[in-house]
Each structure stands twice: as structure tokens, then as C-alpha cells.
Amino acid sequence: MELIDTHAHLMEPRLFSQLEELLTRAVGAGVSQVVVVGTTLADSVAGVAACRGRVGLFPTAGIHPNHVAESEAGDWDSLEALARCGQVVAMGETGLDRHWDRTPFPEQQAMFQKHLELAGELDLPVIIHSRQCETDIIDQLKALGRPVRGVLHSFTGTEEQALAFLELGLHLSFAGMLTFKNPSLNPLRATAARVPGNRILVETDSPYLSPHPFRGRTNEPARAVETLQVLADVRGVPVEELAGVTTANARALFRLPSADRLAVGEMAS
């Protein structure tokens, strides 16, 4: 079985400090490729550097909505230059967040718009974060007036919102929350069961959102398997089959060369 973790923040110190062990465990779990998602200019630059010379790790360039306020005047220009270097596989993590409210909302929207426009120009997919902002994001994407290639990551919205994102052209990615035992998440599992097979992805959002039975602990790419298993159960398909489907989707969306796979012992830069 082969799977891809489409969303991991491997530059977070608690993950980067144990990168080799963590990638060994990922390979052991069947994870062949990881999208290393940037959240600030510095994090994106570090991700690009860390992925260079390593097979199976693919960096992105983005400024997360919760980090927009702390970004400096020239950060966007530097991020744009990084995105144009040809090594990043997506723009993001970008999007909108009303939960933490660390950045005035119009500033979040302006930065999200910059990511969307550059992604369109460079023909890169966009990785979108939404926290209590599904309607705002749908409105902003509709205003683009074109389909959007990308993913709504760690989707936790309603079925109606899922349909709206799918109509806009996005993939939906599921993370550890799908595995939590809370009955309040049953509607999310029901929605996940109905997402078209060609638009569904799995991710960990490491080091966050660790799946059951590791809830509350530091998450890592190997645990994409737990989410994949629950997703397969709710969809009533064998886990190997869903692994194949989600892997093909991730590879097509992020244009990951299938030959560049994590391999134990090959990972030193």
C-alpha cells in the first residue's frame, strides 16, 4: 500500500529535529511522498532548502492567514520569488481564519487574493486553510470567475459547503478529526463518504490534529494511515483501493513525479 501525506509542517522544530526517524516511520507506514507546507516566508524558505537533495519531499510557498500580521513589508515579494524558482509544488498555506483573529480580516483577504492570483499565473495548485470562514472563502473564490486548482485542506465544513468547494474545482482533504470519536463529527464522516473519488485527499497536518488513538500527541506523516483507514471504512471500500485513489489524486494535483519516493537510507542530503 502506498499513500501520500498532502499536508505536513515538517519545518516545525519538534518534527525537523527528528526528521530522519520520522521519515523512516513514514516509509514503514507506506507513505511515499510528503507535501511540506510553508506557513511564513522563513518557514517556506526553510522548506525549499530542506527538500532540495531529498527524494519524496515537496515544498510549498505560503503565508498562513494567522501569520499575515507578523509578516514584513518585503515578505510577499520574497515569497513570490521563491514560488517562481520552480521547486515549489503549490501556493499556500493560505486562506482565512476567524477563530484566532490574529490578523485583521481585510488583510487576510488581501493576502489570500495574492496567493490565488500568483497560483493562477504560475499554474500551481493552492492549499487553502479555513477556520469558520467557509462562506467567506467560497465568496472570494467565486469572485475570481474561474475554476480553482487546489485543495481545501483539513476539511471540516458542511455537506453544502463541500459541494460549493467541489463546484469551484477544489479537492477536499481530510485529516485526523475524521477519526475522532465525537458523535458531533458523524455529519463530517457522512460528507466524506460522498466526496467524488477523483477529488479526495488525505493528510496529517503534522504536527497538529493527531488522529485517534494518538489524539493530543505530536502528529507525523506515518499517521496518515489512520485517517485513510477511517475514510475507507465510511466509504465502504478496501483501504488499499482508497490508498491508490488518493495517491493518484495527490500526484496529479501537485504534479509529483512518481519516481521520487521516500526511501530509507536514501534520505541524507
Note the residues at the interface with Zn ion (CB under 5 A). Answer: 93, 205
Q: How far is the CB of 209 from Zn ion (least distance, A)?
A: 9
Q: Which is nearer to Zn ion, 23 or 152 (CB)?
A: 152
Q: Closest CB to Zn ion among 30 and 62? A: 62
Query: For residues 58 and 232, which CB has a smaller minimum distance to Zn ion in the complex?
Result: 58
Closer by beta carbon to Zn ion, 83 or else 232: 83
**119 burial type by CB count under 10 A (0-12 exposed, 13-18 middle, 19+ buried):** buried
211, 226 contact by CB (below 8 A): yes
Whole-number minimum distance, CB 68 to Zn ion, in Å? 15
Grid coordinates of 250: 495527490
- CA–CA separation, 9 and 12 (whole Å): 6
> How far, in Å, CA of 143 to CA of 156, rounded?
23
Helix (H) or strand (E) holding 92: strand 91-97
Nearer to Zn ion, 136 or 205 (CB): 205
Distances in Å between the Cα of 93 and the Cα atoms of 38, 66, 98, 127, 269 are 6, 10, 16, 5, 25
CB atoms within 10 A of CB 190: 11
| Beta carbon nearer to Zn ion, 6 or 161 | 6
Q: Kindly state the helix (H) or strand (E) to which residue 121 belongs, with its residue range.
A: helix 105-122
Edge-to-edge strand order for the sheet containing 57-59? 3-8, 31-36, 57-59
CA pair distance 197, 16, nearest whole angstrom: 33
Q: CB-wise, 30 or 95, nearer to Zn ion?
A: 95
Which of 75/205 has CB closer to Zn ion?
A: 205
Q: Which amino acid is at 133?
A: C
3-state secondary structure of 199: helix
d(CA 5, CA 57): 10
